[in-house]
A and B are shown apart, each in its own frame.
Chain A
Amino acid sequence: MSDQPLQPFSPPASLTELLPNGISSGTVVEWILFVVFAFWAIYTLVAIYHWLKYSHASWVAFPAIAVHLFISLALITYTLSGQALFLANYLP
């Protein structure tokens, strides 16, 4: 056991130093956003398919899909531009 006092952690100075040459941090961010949005789109399509096929023509199906799309699109807009549309009062 070391007799030295514990030192606080320090945040990494720059993760971009770990990137291979020729790949900018902007490119990495673009790809991460692309993967997240692609996953969101596939997940949403699958869920909508299930709602429409199995919800027994319930009145809940369309409002549930609409609310999901509205909130998701506001969050995607916030991610891309920093403007949260109708969620602006709740986000920094």
Chain B
Amino acid sequence: MKEFELEPGEHVVKQVRKHWFVFLTELLPYAIMAVLPFAAPKLLMLAPPMAIYATFFDFTTPLARAALGVWLLISWTSAWGTFTRYFLNAWVLTNERIVTIKQRAFFRREVASLLLPRVQDVTTNVNGILFSLLGIGNIKVQSAGADVEFTMRGIPHPEQMRDLILKYIPEGDSEKITGV
């Protein structure tokens, strides 16, 4: 780990990212964007007054192909950027602390740690039928005293993550925990 050094005796227990379904929903606008030039002629033909515009999308001329190439290049690069941000956002649970790594944008990265003995409350919630079926939810970890609160949204099986966090909290502090 380059962003944080593991202490002697510390090891990574689990590293999680957003659920793949949440990632796919983030990709959806770019998929629609990529398909649009191919679907547009068919859609325009459904509305007779607009049918004359369907000829713009035949892609037989070099200029039309260049425009299509640029459009697809922008769509692809944007989608790949989304994947990059998805991959660089992570939660790391070690046997001593929780580390959140948030890549909000390029050159905008936050790394924060919360020592497990300071954890006071772990809350999970799963909202909706689809998220319940896929096991997608949110987990919120609050520390004792200070207003430090870690939240990760759209992670797979948040209840398993909660159980792992509770498992690694030192025994002496376990009576304080109110995991839900």
- Which A residues are within 8 Å of any B CB, using their own CB? 8-11, 29, 32-33, 36, 40, 43-44, 46-47, 50-51, 53-56, 58, 60, 64, 68, 71-72, 75-76, 78-80, 82, 91-92
Contacts and interface: CB of A to CB of B under 8 A. Distances in A.
The main secondary structure of chain A at its interface with chain B is helix
Nearest to B75: A75
B21 interface: no
Contacts of B84: 47, 50-51, 64
A10 B52 contact: yes
A49 B70 CA distance: 23
A43 B68 contact: no
19 contacts: A8-B50, A11-B52, A11-B53, A11-B56, A36-B73, A43-B77, A44-B77, A47-B80, A50-B88, A50-B103, A56-B1, A64-B84, A68-B76, A72-B73, A75-B69, A78-B72, A79-B69, A82-B65, A92-B68
B20 interface: no
A79 B52 contact: no
A79 B68 CA distance: 7
Interface string B43-62: 00000011011001011101
B73 A75 contact: yes
Nearest to A57: B2
Contacts of A36: 70, 73-74
A56 B2 contact: yes
Contacts of B70: 32-33, 36, 79
Interface string B103-135: 100110100000000000000000000000000
Given A11-B56, A58-B87, A92-B58, 10 more contacts: A29-B66, A33-B70, A36-B70, A40-B73, A40-B77, A54-B2, A55-B88, A78-B65, A79-B69, A91-B72
B81 interface: yes
A48 to B, nearest CB: 9
Contacts of A64: 80, 83-84, 87
A51 B95 CA distance: 26
B63 interface: yes
A5 to B, nearest CB: 11
Given A68-B80, A79-B73, A50 B106 contact: yes
B3 interface: yes
Contacts of B60: 92
A11 to B, nearest CB: 7
Contact of B3 (A40, A54, A60, A79): A54
